[in-house]
Amino acid sequence: MCNISSFEFGKTKDGRTVTAYELDNGNGMTVRILDYACVVQSITVPDKNGVPTDVSLGYDDVLSYENGTNYYGTVVGRCANRIGDARFVLDGKEYILEKTSENKMHHLHGVFTKRSFKGSIEDGDLVFRYLSPDNEEGFPGNVDVEVRYTLGDDNSLKISYKAVTDAPTIVNLTNHSYFNLNGNDGSTIFDHKVKLNSSYYTEYTETFAQTGRIIPVDNTPLDFRTEHTIGERFNDDYYQLRICTGYDHNMVIDGEPGKLRPIGTVKSEKTGIKLEAFTTEPAIQFYSGNYMHFDPVKNGKNGVHYPKNGGFCFEAQHYPDATSHPNFPSVVLRPGEIYRQTTVYRLGLIKDCE
């Protein structure tokens, strides 16, 4: 049975108290989550020598989370990833959003990454709720959001999302945790071995918008159906890698969306730690931390400097800019419907999994 405790983590610039919740499964795994942006602030598990190792990146104080630009550990919404030209059409009406992407051409991720949620402990789970008001960032409808964290005895962290609306809108939620299975040591993730259950990806334009094309990974550096290190083909002369200066792609997960199925695995030989991930979503954003070094907050936890490519993300999601491409799974949520999403990150040791 997971034990959950809480303490004051700090205060925001406008004086609001931020609470940290510590989840401990009694099996060597602890997870710390904040009520500010539902930040997963730490994930600690034993390495191959039994040493507690924090495998998630982040900051030590609230101000850094407020000022930082890398979304470390946050819940992302209302709509994850980029919305082309920061506008979408729903039921014949055009909605104009803020241009928040790196190049200021598209909408990216949304304000949930800077919002305070209301936390509670329910049936052994940690639950956060937030009411996103009508017209927040230009999105229609009042949307009630629930994010539930469950820490299992098998060292799994399950994140369950739920949302309802009082008017037609779009919703695409995810978690933006950065992992480095070597620990918070300032290393890159190029030595991590990755295997992905993904046979297709969706193509970018030169400005990071979606073309609408769903491309086979065959004979490309995006093919991780057999295991490769992240660094092995990172600098290959492939146009999609050049656009993103690395991996930052919507990878379509094989199998039936809506059912929990494996995303893939990541391993660190240095620590012996292995991550297995699962989702009900159609896809994930596989991101190799290409822009981490642009963060105005230069140091992470324990004063460690996180370099470019110092972490990777598996952001479970619907396809980006889905309203512009009818062949993409819909992100429209209407009154009377319930948005649901489940993602699981399970950690263990390589020797115990093979």
* Mean pLDDT, rounded, for 49-71: 98
The pLDDT, as a whole number, for residue 154 is 97
Burial class for 289, CB neighbours closer than 10 Å (0-12, 13-18, 19+): buried
Residue of 106, 109, 176, 192 with catalytic role: 176
CA distance 177 to 73: 4
Query: At residue 63, what are phi and psi to the nearest 5 degrees?
Result: -55, -40
Compute the average pLDDT of residues 197-201: 98
Compute and round to an integer the Cα radius of gyration of the chain.
19
* Active-site position among 137, 249, 315, 318: 315
User: What is the predicted pLDDT for the residue at 201?
Assistant: 98
pLDDT value of position 96: 97
- CB-count exposure of residue 122 (10 Å: 0-12, 13-18, 19+): exposed
Residue 354 has pLDDT above 80, yes or no: no
Residue 351 is predicted with a pLDDT of 81
Label residue 315 by pLDDT band (50, 70, 90): very high
**For the chain, what is the mean pLDDT?**
97
Note the pTM of the prediction, 2 decimals. 0.97
Q: How far apart are CA 194 and CA 210, in angstroms?
A: 25
Percentage of the chain exceeding pLDDT 70: 99
Residues 97-126 have pLDDT tens digits of 999 998 899 999 999 999 999 999 999 999
What pLDDT shows up at residue 1?
Answer: 78
Band of pLDDT at residue 10, cut at 50, 70 and 90: very high
Phi, psi of 279 (to 5 degrees): -155, 160
- Position 272: which residue type? G
Q: Does the pLDDT value for residue 352 go beyond 80?
A: no
In whole angstroms, what is the distance from residue 150 CA to residue 159 CA? Answer: 7
Three-class HEC string of the chain? CCEEEEEEEEECCCCCEEEEEEEECCCCCEEEEECECCCEEEEEEECCCCCEEECECCCCCHHHHHHCCCCCCCEECCECCEEHHHEEEECCEEEECCCCCCCCCCEECCHHHHCECEEEEECCEEEEEEEECCCHHHCCCCEEEEEEEEECCCCEEEEEEEEEECCCEECECEECCCECCCCCCCCCCCCCEEEECCCEEEEECCCCCEEEEEEECCCCCCCCCCCEECCCCCCCCCHHHHHHCCCEEEEECCCCCCCCEEEEEEECCCCCEEEEEEECCCEEEEECCCCHHHCCCCECHHHCECCCCCCEEEEEECCCCHHHCCCCCCCEECCCCCEEEEEEEEEEEHHHHC
Whether the pLDDT of residue 266 is over 80: the answer is yes
Q: Is 137 assigned a catalytic role?
A: no
Domains (ranges, CATH) in the chain?
A: 3-188+261-353 (2.70.98.10)
Residues contacting residue 184 through CB under 8 Å, at least 6 positions apart? 54, 57, 300, 301, 302, 304
Nearest 5°: phi and psi at 267? Answer: -130, 145
pLDDT exceeding 90 applies to what percent of the chain?
97
> 35 pLDDT exceeds 90?
yes
37-61 mean pLDDT: 98
Q: According to the model, what pLDDT value does residue 110 have?
A: 94
- Verify whether residue 337 is a known catalytic residue: no
Summarize pLDDT for 154-193 with one digit per residue, the tens: 999 999 999 999 999 999 999 999 999 999 999 999 999 9
| Mean per-residue pLDDT, 26-48 | 98
Greatest Cα pair distance, the chain, in angstroms, is: 59
- pLDDT tens digits, 211-241: 999 999 999 999 999 999 999 999 999 999 9
What per-residue confidence (pLDDT) applies to 255?
97
* CA nearest neighbour of 334 among 170, 119, 138: 170
Does the pLDDT at position 320 exceed 70? yes
Q: Taking the CA of residue 165 as centre, how many other CA atoms within 13 Å lie in the half-sphere pointing to its CB?
A: 22
Q: Which residues are CB-neighbours of 187 under 8 A, at least 6 positions away?
A: 180, 270, 307, 310
Please check whether residue 314 is in contact with residue 76, taking contact to mean a CB–CB distance below 8 angstroms: no
Rounded CA gap, 158 and 342, in Å?
Answer: 7
For residue 286, what pLDDT is reported?
A: 98
